[in-house]
Amino acid sequence: MCAWLATPAVVAHHPVHHPFRARHGIRHGHGPHGPGPTPRVIPSAPSGGEPVIHIAFVIDTIESATAGTERQLLHLLERLDRTRFAPVLCVLRPSDWIEQSVLPCPVYNVSIRGFKHPASIAGIGKFSGFLRGRRTDVVQTHFRDSTIASVCASRLAGKVPVIATRRNQGYWQTGLDKRLQPILNRLTTAFIANSRSTMDKMVRDEGIAPERIRIIPNGLDLSKFPWPMNGDRESTRQALGMSRDEISVGIVANLRPIKRHDLLIEAAAIVRGRHPNARFHLFGDGDEREKLEALVRERALDGVIRFHGRCENVPAMLPGLDIGVLCSDSESMSNAVIEYMAAGLPVVATNVGGVGETIVDGVTGSLVPAGDYSGLANAIARFAADASLRNTTGQSGRRKAEGYSLDQCVAAHESLYAAIAGSAQ
């Protein structure tokens, strides 16, 4: 039944379509302030070719292009081969970012803000009509609410195949979520996991058959990480307010509890005692900022740790750093880690989820146990003390990052869509 999952991915090379960017121009499709009219239909392949596969990509919303799942989705929408696939982005609710962005495909507002209100039933009904009217071949979901809406609407639309994307390991799940998940799993055709660790957890904890899961690692646009990057170093450090002789340690992550920035702050207090020229730079924003700033003051680290806020252009910032850090309690596959490696930085990270699949301990970086700020400090200090070690480790990381090309990622998705759509006919 699931033989399509064994289909090997072939790297496809095709032009980029309508690059997305924030706050410029007019979006394709209709605005997301209500279901409204159906977005424009992307034409099918020329006569005599294979029929175009219509795919609905469903996500709760997109607040910015910097978050990991959202960024991977936008890259995929941007690069899908339009001679074979016709994508539409379906959001449960609108956002300012969507309104102000040029997006690479039509946008449809599902108009579901939650499932406690009776209006959500009508929203699912309208969504099923949209899927049916567009002759949707495949639905791909991201996050819990979009999966709920999609499996219900897909059933009503005639059992359209649903692919559920797993880019985290369910750290957020409540008791209700865990009771609901088996129902959603039974109504889902296939799953995409971005790491072996996440797949193994799905099989072990949820009883999902391995043949229903395709592992597709995150993709990286290497063109944004020219190598070597040393030419941008001094200008980048100057723009970021870094001194010439400081050892710059950076973390790119939203300020959320799961990312454990508090561990980096505690580690910074230790590293500072050994390397007075070490400085720590936090790129990202979130609800934890006030709490973390208080911890910085409590540890007397003002001037040692800087909060830069949200970073819209990570590749342009990374050349200014010497060491990249990830200290999360849970990850599936970290975009930040492969971006650090692409920039030639040694990486210090907690060994959680699929992080150990990306980082080769002692070769492309150092892995430390989750929650261990002392181990984090020791690994950072080891790199801070040895420029040669930073250089050789960074070069090894760059070579490893080149194995996560965006073309390979997109081709693997295209192969899965073609197989799923073909088996549904």
Q: Report the sign of the C-alpha dihedral through residues 37, 39, 40, 42, in that order.
A: negative
Count of Cβ atoms closer than 10 Å to residue 196 Cβ: 15
Looking at residue 113, its pLDDT comes to 82
Task: Return the percentage of the chain with pLDDT > 70, whole number.
Answer: 87
User: Between β-strands 101-102 and 21-22, what pairing exists: parallel, antiparallel or unpaired?
Assistant: antiparallel
Q: Could you tell me which residue, 187 or 228, shows the higher pLDDT?
A: 187
d(CA 405, CA 396): 16
Looking at residue 14, its pLDDT comes to 33
Give the total number of structural domains in the chain: 2
Band (pLDDT 50/70/90 cuts) for residue 232 is confident
**Whether residue 147 sits in one domain with residue 245:** no
Band (pLDDT 50/70/90 cuts) for residue 15 is very low
**Whether residue 238 sits in one domain with residue 132:** no
Cα 175–Cα 177–Cα 357 angle in degrees, nearest 5: 105
Look at residue 11 and tell me whether its pLDDT is greater than 80: no
Band (pLDDT 50/70/90 cuts) for residue 22 is very low
pLDDT digits 0-9 by tens, 249-293: 999 999 999 999 999 999 999 999 999 999 999 999 999 999 999
Give the distance between the most distant pair of CA atoms in the chain: 70
**Whether residue 242 sits in one domain with residue 211:** no
Looking at every residue in the chain, the average pLDDT score rounds to: 87
pLDDT digits 0-9 by tens, 200-222: 999 999 999 999 999 999 999 99
Looking at residue 170, its pLDDT comes to 83
Looking at residue 7, its pLDDT comes to 34
Structure tokens at 222: 């290497």
**Whether residue 178 sits in one domain with residue 255:** no
**Whether residue 151 sits in one domain with residue 48:** yes
**Whether residue 149 sits in one domain with residue 46:** yes
d(CA 268, CA 176): 38
Question: Residue 141 maps to which CATH number?
Answer: 3.40.50.2000
Q: Residue 371's domain spans which residues? A: 222-401
What is the pTM (predicted TM-score) of this model? Answer: 0.84
Looking at residue 49, its pLDDT comes to 58
d(CA 279, CA 260): 18
Look at residue 58 and tell me whether its pLDDT is greater than 80: yes
Look at residue 68 and tell me whether its pLDDT is greater than 90: no
Look at residue 403 and tell me whether its pLDDT is greater than 50: yes
**Whether residue 242 sits in one domain with residue 205:** no
**Whether residue 91 sits in one domain with residue 9:** yes
Look at residue 411 and tell me whether its pLDDT is greater than 50: yes
User: What's the whole-number mean pLDDT along residues 150-175?
Assistant: 91
Least Cα distance to 73 among 202, 162, 165, 137 occurs for: 165
Task: Return the percentage of the chain with pLDDT > 90, whole number.
Answer: 73
Looking at residue 231, its pLDDT comes to 62
The answer to whether the bond into 228 is cis (omega within 30° of 0) is yes
Band (pLDDT 50/70/90 cuts) for residue 242 is very high
pLDDT digits 0-9 by tens, 92-142: 999 999 999 889 999 999 999 888 777 888 899 999 999 999 999 999 999
Looking at residue 26, its pLDDT comes to 25
Q: What's the 3-state SS for the chain? A: CCHHHHCCCCCCCCCCCCCCEECCCCCCCCCCCCCCCCCCCCCCCCCCCCCCEEEEEEECCCCCCCCHHHHHHHHHHHHCCCCCEEEEEEECCCCHHHHCEECCCCEEECCCCCCCCCHHHHHHHHHHHHHHHCCCCEEEEECHHHHHHHHHHHHHCCCCCEEEEECCCCCCCCHHHHHHHHHHHHCCCEEEECCHHHHHHHHHHHCCCHHHEEECCCCECHHHCCCCCHHHHHHHHHHCCCCCCCEEEEEECCCCHHHCHHHHHHHHHHHHHHCCCEEEEEEECCCCHHHHHHHHHHCCCECCEEEEECCCCHHHHHHHCCEEEECCCCCCCCHHHHHHHHCCCCEEEECCCCHHHHCCECCCEEEECCCCHHHHHHHHHHHHCCHHHHHHHHHHHHHHHCCCEHHHHHHHHHHHHHHHHHHHC
Band (pLDDT 50/70/90 cuts) for residue 25 is very low
Phi then psi dihedrals of residue 141, to 5 deg: -110, 155
**Whether residue 267 sits in one domain with residue 202:** no
Look at residue 23 and tell me whether its pLDDT is greater than 70: no
**Whether residue 382 sits in one domain with residue 288:** yes
**Whether residue 159 sits in one domain with residue 228:** no
User: What's the whole-number mean pLDDT along residues 346-367?
Assistant: 97
Contacts of 47 (CB under 8 A, 6+ apart): none
**Whether residue 228 sits in one domain with residue 211:** no
